[in-house]
Amino acid sequence: MTTAGVIGWGLIGGSMAKAIKKAGHTVYGYNRTTSVIGRALSEGVADAYLTKENAADCDFLIVALMPDVTVSLIRQFAPYLKKGCIVVDCTGIKSAINIALSGELARQGLFFVGGHPMAGKEVAGYENSEAELFANASMILCRDGFTDEEAYGKAEAFFRGIGFPRIKETTPEEHDRVIAYTSQMAHVVSNAYIKNSVLPERYGFSAGSFKDLTRVAKLDENMWTDLFFANREALLSRIEEFMGHMEEYRKALSERDEDRMRELLREGRILKENDEENEKAAFEKMSGS
């Protein structure tokens, strides 16, 4: 049985705690709003409050908060953790977190593995958390120059054991470059797309395509602003590339160039079809099958 301390009991942290508990492990909880941990204790999700006095019991410390708060709280708890404890964050950026913590924790006899669970909902908070949130999700784990191979292997086994079907191994730099495209730009585009003068007239005219494209427009503006600016250069590159493609479509329409439009649409269709096939192969590799 493993003891895991979980800091930050919102949607991700709460779901992580529930998945860990469901897998049969011991869970200690820490949250700014202590009543959340009280509820988790009453529900049998948490076994105890995480404190500096019992932090040494933890084999894993998992933190699901915003980047700056993540760094601060890990530094607060680090002196009380036992040697060999594996510390994993769940933030949406990795380079800045790894630079701040990886070497520092290694010098204290702790092992840091940057993490990012690729799951979520349009709603937040512990009340919306669920143990099955990660049932079809990838867990991203990052290696850097301070990574301990044995600790990394334990982290991979732990997350597979609590329900993640796929582990994506990467570096902090690759994570931030790709996540700017797969997650951050998707939120920007969705949020910008809904700002259209026709929006009040769309009722009865919209179906799946509208809902798919606007789903993540409903976001936490404070959290996403922090993430966007923490990964500013990578996100700018992806937005500029996207705007270049949009200009191609606009130009084809403006110039009444049906052949060019047909070519652009064909290119996108083929990319999507190939992407679906490539995803299957990549997922099989990440699942170990």
pLDDT in tens, 121-161: 888 899 999 999 999 999 999 999 999 999 999 999 999 99
CB distance 3 to 59 below 8 Å = yes
* Domains of the chain, residue spans: 3-170, 176-255
For residue 196, which amino acid is it? N
Q: Sheet of 60-63: strands edge to edge?
A: 48-49, 26-30, 3-7, 60-63, 86-89, 111-117, 138-142, 166-170
Higher pLDDT, 138 or 287: 138
DSSP H or E run through 178: helix 172-179
Write out the two tokens for 250.
Answer: 């606009």
Residues 6+ apart with CB under 8 A from 85: 58, 59, 60, 61, 110, 111
CATH fold for domain 3-170: Rossmann fold (3.40.50)
Write out the two tokens for 159.
Answer: 């997350």
Higher pLDDT, 130 or 289: 130
pTM to 2 decimal places: 0.92
**pLDDT at residue 122 in the model:** 80
pLDDT in tens, 66-121: 998 999 999 999 999 999 999 999 999 999 999 999 999 999 999 999 999 999 88
Q: Look at residue 10 and tell me whether its pLDDT is greater than 80.
A: yes
Q: Give percent of the chain with pLDDT exceeding 70.
A: 100
**What does CATH list as the number for 176-255?**
1.10.3660.10
